[in-house]
Amino acid sequence: MLKRWHSQLPSLLAGMAFAGTLMAWGVPSHAEPITFDFTGTVVGAGPFMAGDPVSGFFTFESTAPDFIGIDPAWGLYGVNTFYVQIGTYTASSGVPPLIEMEIRNSAGGDRFHIEGILNGPAIAGYTRSLIKLTLFDPTAIAFSTDSLPLVPPLLSAFSLKNFSLLMVGPAPLLPDLTFGSITSLTLREQAPIPEPATIGLMTTGLIGLVAGRLVSTKRKTQFQRP
């Protein structure tokens, strides 16, 4: 049995090395989820209280395509997840998410804008809402392109930093608007994704472990042999 394992060792190690090479070089460049966290304060109450704290986050892929690729001053990107909490009320995007991110870099001003439909528990008869987060810089120096921002833009670069939540419900309810200010926009740290080089090192270590085990078994058998 040991002799058979020993004879198969070279082909076993070669196969593992080949598999490790395929893993190292064949792993595609995965899109990384990017999450921005935000906070704010309610100014115009709607069904809420003025001064209520606002917090939430939205997530998008680092390789999300620009749906308006032909316009160099206007980028439009999909958002995977959006969540907001106002006081004790919470709402989030559905499946599929109906949320978009707009980046404008034009002479008329730079704009960072998130807009979409959210679902949450009924509040004062309202069951759905339209969320908007808007940062606007009339001097047009906040952005240099309409590219997808992988880090949050600096709030200090914008003179307008607003959010609004338009609540809707069944008739005869009229839409009710809550609005306020955005006070922070930060990048959430993500868990690291293994690089191809790391996968290669793991494979090399596995090969060494198997080889060491087989050699140890052979020596033990030779020592026990009368």
Strands 126-137 and 33-44: unpaired
pLDDT tens-digit map of 6-17: 454 445 444 444
Mean pLDDT of the chain: 80
Q: Cα 86–92–96 angle (5° rounding)?
A: 160
200: pLDDT strictly greater than 90: no
Residues shown for the chain: 226
CB 20 within 8 A of CB 204: yes
Q: How confident is the model at residue 224 (pLDDT cuts 50, 70, 90)?
A: low
Q: What is the pLDDT of residue 171?
A: 78
The per-residue pLDDT for 206 is: 46
pLDDT score, position 215? 46
Query: For residue 146, how many other CB atoms are within 10 A of its CB?
Result: 23
Q: Is 217 helix (H, G, I), strand (E, B) or coil?
A: helix
Q: What pLDDT does residue 55 have?
A: 98
Report the Cα 114 to chain-centroid distance in Å. Answer: 15
DSSP-assigned letters across all residues of 119-141: EEEEETTEEEEEEEEEEEETTS-
pLDDT tens by residue, 9-46:
445 444 444 444 434 444 445 679 999 999 999 998 78
The whole-angstrom distance between residue 21's C-alpha and the CA centroid of its chain comes to 29
- Per-residue pLDDT, 209: 46
Q: Which of 93, 81, 91 is nearest to 126 (CA)?
A: 91
- Hunting for tokens 């833009």 — which residue is that? 153
pLDDT of residue 191: 66
pLDDT at 21: 45
Q: What letter does residue 43 receive in the DSSP assignment?
A: E
